[in-house]
């Protein structure tokens, strides 16, 4: 059972363009939605995260948009750069207060290539 569905599996964007990666979740108990960035030969690292009490969070060129009613969230990378080429994972987790353990459920990942 795939609790977090991520699309597309791969994405090619030209330098300066906008990269958009989408995720959908099923468990309404999820209360934390992070995105991880993984460069080749490295482990994933936290990029940006959002809680469901806000609809958008922006950090530099990276923005998370969150739609609680649709149970969807997305990562937007503005002015995409070749250095953004990496695999991106969305994830969702929930706290003990909601019956969870904070352990994230990951999407299957999106391989982003930004051409110069």
Partner 1 sequence: DADVTQTPRNRITKTGKRIMLECSQTKGHDRMYWYRQDPGLGLRLIYYSFDVKDINKGEISDGYSVSRQAQAKFSLSLESAIPNQTALYFCATSDYTSGAYKGTQYFGPGTRLTVL
Residues 53-92 that bind partner 1 (CB under 8 A): 89
| Nearest distance from C-beta of residue 16 to partner 1, angstroms | 28
Q: Does 3 bind partner 1 (CB under 8 A)?
A: no
Closest CA to 112 of 89, 91, 84: 84
CB of 92 to partner 1, least distance (A): 10
Q: Which of residues 21-50 bind partner 1 (CB under 8 A)?
A: 32, 34, 36, 41-46, 49
The answer to the question of residue 98 lying near partner 1 (CB under 8 A) is no
Cα–Cα nearest to 33, from 72, 75, 91, 102: 91
Beta strand ranges found along 15-106 (DSSP E):
19-25, 33-38, 45-50, 56-59, 62-67, 72-77, 86-92, 105-106
In terms of Cα–Cα distance, which of 83, 93, 110 is closest to 33? 93
107 near partner 1, judged by CB under 8 A: yes
Q: Are strands 4-7 and 62-67 parallel, antiparallel or unpaired?
A: unpaired
Using CB under 8 A as the binding criterion, the count of chain residues that bind partner 1 stands at: 22
- The CB-of-104 to partner 1 minimum distance in angstroms stands at 6
List residues near partner 1 by CB under 8 A: 6, 9, 32, 34, 36, 41-46, 49, 89, 93, 95, 102-104, 106-109
């Amino acid at each position: 059972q795939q609790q977090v569905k991520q699309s597309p599996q791969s994405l090619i964007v030209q330098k300066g363009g906008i990269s958009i990666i989408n995720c959908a979740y099923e468990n309404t108990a999820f209360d934390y939605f992070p995105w991880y960035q993984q460069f080749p030969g490295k482990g994933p690292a936290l990029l940006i995260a959002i809680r469901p009490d806000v609809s958008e969070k922006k950090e530099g060129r990276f923005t998370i948009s969150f739609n609680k009613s649709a149970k969807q969230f997305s990562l937007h990378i503005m002015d995409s750069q070749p250095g953004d080429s990496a695999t991106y994972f969305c994830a969702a987790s929930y706290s003990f207060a909601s019956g969870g353990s904070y352990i994230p459920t990951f999407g299957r990942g999106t391989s982003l290539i930004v051409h110069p």
